[in-house]
Amino acid sequence: MNIVNIINNSQKPSPYTPGTAQMWVDEYISSRLLHVHLDQSIDLASRKESTINTTINWILEKIDGSQLDILDLGCGPGLYAEKLAGLGHRVTGIDFSTHSIDYAKISAQKSKLNICYRNQDYLALTEENRYDLILMIFTDFGVLTPEQRTCLAAKIHKALKPGGTFLFDVLNKHTSPEKLGRRDWETAERGFWRPRPYLCLSDSLYYPNENVTLNQHIVIEENGSYDLYRFWVHTFSHADLKQILTTTGFKAISCYDGVIPDSEFCSSNSVTFCTAQK
């Protein structure tokens, strides 16, 4: 174990410095994430079914149409996609996690729903003029770097039909910073990060100029090897969102707070939903 390297990696890095590993493509961690998605006792990887139902009802009040062509970016195991397809919409779901997509495909078959699922990075989106509505739910837009956000917004704009809508949610300036700067550690013989003994050193760091928090985790194994996972989480004002979307050609941009109920992880007024038209 190189203690000096671990000490260096545990220091506050420059904004958007990447980690050394991604949990979405890790065979073991992504399988654990699927279980978290499906756990109805917590609003963590996915929101609870009651909140999902509230969200879908709100979405369909905002977006009129009986048979919409919908793209769900970061669809996970298809919790939103299945409900929308069950209401008669034509749905495509994209997710980076093979485990989530495999589960979603099997679940759709069991429910006899014709949903197109694709296992890919949504940053590689290439379609044009295809969708009436593109969704990005559970604050995924806020984990992207500024360059990734601009790139994806432009790709989404291109993939929408004329008059189509991009609808997504983010954390806003009401998000509580109470855990920032807190360091923690975990040991386990088997846990979320590994199926074998490990030590995890976790930290949360705040960058006020960028309005971003870094949640980083150094996972150290018994043989001394380690991986560094970094997650950048932004908060946005309504003005921030309108500026980002206007620069990529969107119009009729609207922001809404208080759409979903409070959860154990965030209050209702700390989540902003945004709609923007092509």
For 204-246, write each residue's pLDDT tens digit. 999 999 999 999 999 999 999 999 999 999 999 999 999 999 9
Query: How far apart are alpha carbons 149 and 162 in whole angstroms?
Result: 21
**Phi-psi category of residue 6: left, alpha or beta, with phi > 0 → left and psi -120 to 50 → alpha:** alpha
Query: How far apart are alpha carbons 12 and 28 in whole angstroms?
Result: 28
CB 212 within 8 A of CB 149: no
Query: How far apart are alpha carbons 270 and 142 in whole angstroms?
Result: 13
What are the distances in angstroms from CA 117 to CA 90, 161, 167? Answer: 12, 20, 19
pLDDT at 66: 86
What are the distances in angstroms from CA 240 to CA 13, 59, 103, 247, 257? Answer: 24, 22, 36, 11, 14
Half-sphere CA count of 148, side-chain side, radius 13 A? 13
CB 88 within 8 A of CB 69: no
CB 74 within 8 A of CB 47: no
Low-confidence ranges of the chain (pLDDT < 50): none
pLDDT at 179: 52
For 96-105, write each residue's pLDDT tens digit. 999 999 999 9
pLDDT at 181: 58
Instruction: Enumerate residues 6+ apart whose C-beta is below 8 A from 174.
Output: 257, 267, 269, 270
Q: What are phi and psi of 147, to 5 degrees?
A: -65, -40
pLDDT at 177: 57
pLDDT at 267: 87
**Which SS3 state, helix, strand or coil, does residue 276 take?**
strand
pLDDT at 265: 77
> Residue 198 forms beta bridges with which residues?
188, 221
